[in-house]
Amino acid sequence: MPIKWKSKILLCKRETVYGVDAAPTGTVDGILATSVVLSPMEGQDVSREHELPWLGAQATVPTQLAMRLQYRVEMVPSGTAGVPPAWGTSLRACAVGQTITAATSVVYNPISDGHESVTHHFWIGPTRFVLKGSRGSAVMRIDAQGIPYLEFDFRGLFSLPSDPGVRPTVDLTAFLAPDIATSLNTPVFTLGAVPLVLRNFSLDLGNDVQGRFLIGAESILVVDRTDAISCQVEAVPLSTFDPFAAAAGQLRTALSLQHGRSAGRKATLAVAGAQLQRPSFANQQNILEWVLPMVPLPTAGNDQWTLTLT
């Protein structure tokens, strides 16, 4: 029988030992994802470069094998203050730290060392693909009248797929229904304490994720980071907010964005020092809008942004 494209199951669990299968289960570790894309066998085909007495193609050897898994999740907190969201494990595998204050908050921020890894199990039909040692990057994306998403891009160590025979039963109830980004549901967006009308926003963690395949050690590492922010807002008089002067003067501006209104469902992104770069124009419905690229810069280190769930 043909394998149905919509027969996917995705599981994700934090590893206690790097590269050792964390054995995620459907009852605890299921991921409610959209736009799932698996590249099951990335790498290179190295020619064997034989000198032969005839013309013809060369045999090759597959090398630097790895797997790539991309998916996005709806950015909804757990519904209970101080309880991590169901997508928290995925975010932590993107060189992000998690701090829990019981009954109060869960805070995420970038970290430079001690990067966690996860094991992904991805099923399509009867076939299971296992990505051990997975690390990746992510983009937070909020568009007006759209669902806020976290878009993940992971790489994991290669292993051959298998048909285990029994597919897991998945519990996805920890993923709550999202709130559309509207004036009501997204009550705060400010730059330099100035409220602006927002069309779209993205924070790209910008992780440099590389496979390191040596004799005696193979791993997926986050070796650098280049965070970037982009947003599109309605233009205002320069007396209200002047992004051109900010960009020319290399000024750092505080940014705050809150989505969600009720306790346990609020997600607040805070950037203490966003350096505005050169703005550009956009025409939407014959209304002038600004496209504002920004760089979230650290102050003491690992503090260029925080995502607080309350």
Q: What is the chain written as a DSSP string?
A: -PPPTT-EEEEEEE-SSTTS-----TTTSB---EEEEEEEEEEEEEE-----SS--PPPEEEEEEEEEEEEEEE----SSTTS--TTHHHHHTTTEEEEEETTTEEEEEE-SSS---EEEEEEETTEEEEEEEEEEEEEEEEETTS--EEEEEEEEE----B--S-PPP---TTSPPPPP-STTT--EEEETTEE--EEEEEEE--EEEEEEEETTEEEEEEEEE--EEEEEEE---TTT--HHHHHHTT-EEEEEEEE--STT--EEEEEEEEEE---EEEEETTEEEEEEEEEE--SSSS-S-EEEE-
Please state the pTM of the whole predicted model. Answer: 0.97
What's the mean pLDDT in 129-148?
98
Q: Which tokens is 58 given?
A: 């060369």
Residue 307 main-chain phi, psi, to 5 deg? -115, 115
How much is the pLDDT for 178?
Answer: 98
Alpha-carbon distance of 106 to 98, in angstroms, equals 7
What's the mean pLDDT in 13-28?
98
How much is the pLDDT for 209?
Answer: 98
Nearest to 74 by CA among 112, 44, 118, 32: 32
- pLDDT tens digit sequence for 183-230: 999 999 999 999 999 999 999 999 999 999 999 999 999 999 999 999
Percent of the chain with pLDDT over 90: 99
What's the mean pLDDT in 158-180?
97
| Count of beta carbons in the 10 Å neighbourhood of residue 210 | 15
Q: Which tokens is 308 given?
A: 């607080």
- Classify residue 239 by burial, with Cβ atoms within 10 Å: 0-12, 13-18, 19+: exposed
Give the up-direction half-sphere exposure of residue 215: CA atoms within 13 A in the CB hemisphere.
0
1 pLDDT higher than 90: no
What's the mean pLDDT in 69-96?
98
How much is the pLDDT for 222?
Answer: 98
> Look-up: residue for tokens 């590249």?
39
How much is the pLDDT for 247?
Answer: 98
What's the mean pLDDT in 154-162?
98
How much is the pLDDT for 264?
Answer: 98
- pLDDT tens digit sequence for 248-279: 999 999 999 999 999 999 999 999 999 999 99
What's the mean pLDDT in 135-159?
98
Give the up-direction half-sphere exposure of residue 89: CA atoms within 13 A in the CB hemisphere.
21
Averaged pLDDT of the chain = 98
